[in-house]
Structure 1
Amino acid sequence: MASFAPPKADIATAEKWYEASTTVDGPFRDLLENYSHVPTDDVVKHVVDTRNRAWAVHPYPCLGQFRFLELNLSQRGDLYNRLLKELKTQPGSRFLDIGCCLGQDIRKLVYDGAPASSVAGAELNGAFIDLGYDLFRDRDSTAGQMVIVSANILESPTGPSSPLHSLVGQFSAVQLGMLLHLFTWEEQITAFENTLVLLRGQPGDRIFGQATGHLDGTPTASVGSRATFKHNAESFARLVAAAQEATGTRWRIVTAELDNGLSVFDGKRTWDDPRTRRLVFEIERE
């Protein structure tokens, strides 16, 4: 499998999802003030400055619109509460966030009481990992405990040179965060296969996440030779079925639904197909 590098949007398009500043309230401000010990008056500047550095690395919409401030995993109610309880009380339970970007979801878990050794992250671009340490000011405090590696989920974790090699078979839960829509159908199956290798291989293992979805469940316009795929609930079910066949495993779809995340109806996605929605999913191994 060739290495994956997401294409950058052209400057004119990217400017449509760039916001110069933001407010920082609620759980994210609490995280920065009480986990990262950023002074109250410095929080907004600290966030904007770090975002601007991340934007220079790659102009993703989630960076341009400060959507990483939403702490999406912790907004998933019962799922988040179950995950947090497992990490705090069940020895051997571990969580991996694939596509962790600045690592905001794993920091929230640690702040809420999960042992730092029970969470890990993987991010394609190592620059985002470094920026996450700068944003949360925990490079020294989590050294040797929280594992965050630069890795490509489309490359097999089992190879001895893979950054994920030491993590094979370690996890009870994996998040695929805002990734699937960047991949073709075939690449999504490869991502599933490689994620499976990182899980313990036991009933109850879980894969969950979010992705840009589409009401029709459809391939997008080609990017070079790649036509990526945005799901609705029905196409996601077909993907799970195809992944099951490819891996010889069985999975139960707990949740697969489209919602109005991604700023769909607040006038901020003027560049996008109006049938775009957010796919939220959770599957569990039988």
Structure 2
Amino acid sequence: MTVILGPPNPASTANGHANVERDPLLEASYSSITTEELDFVRQQTGIQDEAALREHILNVQAEAFKVHPYPCIRRFAFIKMKLSPRIPAYNHLLKLGREREGAILLDIGCCFGNDVRKAVADSFPVQNVVATDIHPEFWDYGHKLFNSTQETFPARFLAGDVFDPAHLALVPPFTSSPAKSQPQLSTLTSLNPLRGHVSAIHISAVFHLFSEEEQVELAHKLAGLLSPEPGSIIFGLQSGRADKGFRVEAGVPNSHGKQMFCHSPESWTELWENVFPTGTIRVDADVRELNRDDLKPVGEGAKFWVLTWCVTRL
């Protein structure tokens, strides 16, 4: 049963959220936020009072949902930590940040930037972080949610569509160091100067938004960004299936209103092995069923699988 802590207060003026109109249905998943996740927001914002923290989070959610009514905004995915020690590649990411000089972390589809904030809190150098999303408003809402500014959290944000060549043009994976030196992140206006220079690319809850053909194209584009240095990684998580195919179990379309295409660990491994030259990568992929209370209205038989994966340069 969903638990709502205290009555909503649309007229709250705390933290700059004056007279925010909220849909009670948006609040229904608030109880799914874990104590660990709330503690992280509390640590980042400095808001210690539980009721005030709840109002702050719900008001930001309501504002962001007006930008684009993504299901992930409804489910508070902008707080849930996809980039965390629960992902096997996470400790390797932090190791890259500690040991590889100038190691760049790129977050694709960053939304509010909660994942890169977690990595920075756990020691990845903020000056080496780049984040991108098609909706720049979400990055602004990240500053609002976490009570930060560009000065206090100086990660580089770039708005753009990764399918747009002006933002990210497709090139083959690099097999040796790029001829051009690593760019100054503060000068970036697109992802193109980063091609061949990125040590770690995190991309979660993005691939399943697109068709099978578009997922292949996206994989090729990301491969061109990755540094050829051994240990460089592309990793994340997304909707998956035990068997490759459309997500028919839940009967829920993706955010583009289309039937969601999901990979299995085997088909996902095959995809990446066809993207990179033979013998240059290792693919680790695992799928597990995840309990999703929000799918119960769809039907008791509705199922959801998460594909967790990492592509590592050898």
TM range (shorter): 0.7 to 0.9
Cα shift at 1:28: 2.6
User: Which residue does 1:205 correspond to in 2?
Assistant: 232
Cα shift at 1:277: 0.9
Cα shift at 1:204: 2.0
RMSD of aligned residue pairs (Cα, Å): 3.1
Q: Which runs of 4+ in 1 moved over 6 A?
A: 221-227
Instruction: Give me the whole-angstrom Cα distance separating, in 1, the residues matched to 2:44 and 2:257.
Output: 44
Cα shift at 1:239: 1.7
User: Which amino acid counterpart does residue 132 of structure 1 have in structure 2?
Assistant: G
User: Which residue does 1:141 correspond to in 2?
Assistant: 151
User: Which residue does 1:233 correspond to in 2?
Assistant: 265
User: Which residue does 2:215 correspond to in 1?
Assistant: 188
Q: Deviations over 1:156-214 (max 9, x none)?
A: 3249x962234333311101110111111221121112112222222322111111112
Instruction: Give me the whole-angstrom Cα distance separating, in 2, the residues matched to 1:119 and 1:173.
Output: 10
- Count the aligned residue pairs: 265
Alignment of 1:98-177 (within 5 A): 98-142=108-152, 145-156=154-165, 157-158=168-169, 163-177=190-204
Instruction: Give me the whole-angstrom Cα distance separating, in 2, the residues matched to 1:205 and 1:22.
Output: 36
Partner of 1:196: helix, strand, or coil?
helix
TM-score normalized with structure 1 length:
0.80
Q: Is 1:37 equivalent to 2:65 in the alignment? A: no
Q: Is 1:22 equivalent to 2:52 in the alignment? A: no
Larger RCO of the pair (alpha carbons < 8 Å, separation 6+): 1
User: Which residue does 1:251 correspond to in 2?
Assistant: 281
Cα shift at 1:47: 0.9
Instruction: Give me the whole-angstrom Cα distance separating, in 2, the residues matched to 1:131 and 1:68.
Output: 10
Aligned partner of 1:179 among 206, 212, 224: 206
Please say which of residues 119-128 and 197-206 is displaced more in the overlay.
197-206
Cα shift at 1:228: 4.9
Cα shift at 1:77: 5.1
8 Å CA contact retained: 2:203, 2:237: yes
Percent identity for Structure 1 against Structure 2: 28
Distance change >3 Å, CA 52–CA 76, structure 1 → 2: same
Instruction: Give me the whole-angstrom Cα distance separating, in 2, the residues matched to 1:72 and 1:112.
Output: 14
Cα shift at 1:269: 4.7
- Unaligned 5+ segments in structure 1 are 1-14
TM-score normalized with structure 2 length:
0.73
Distance change >3 Å, CA 217–CA 127, structure 1 → 2: same
Distance change >3 Å, CA 232–CA 244, structure 1 → 2: same
User: Which residue does 1:6 correspond to in 2?
Assistant: none
User: Which amino acid counterpart does residue 56 of structure 1 have in structure 2?
Assistant: K
User: Which residue does 1:270 correspond to in 2?
Assistant: 297
8 Å CA contact retained: 1:215, 1:275: no
Cα shift at 1:151: 1.8
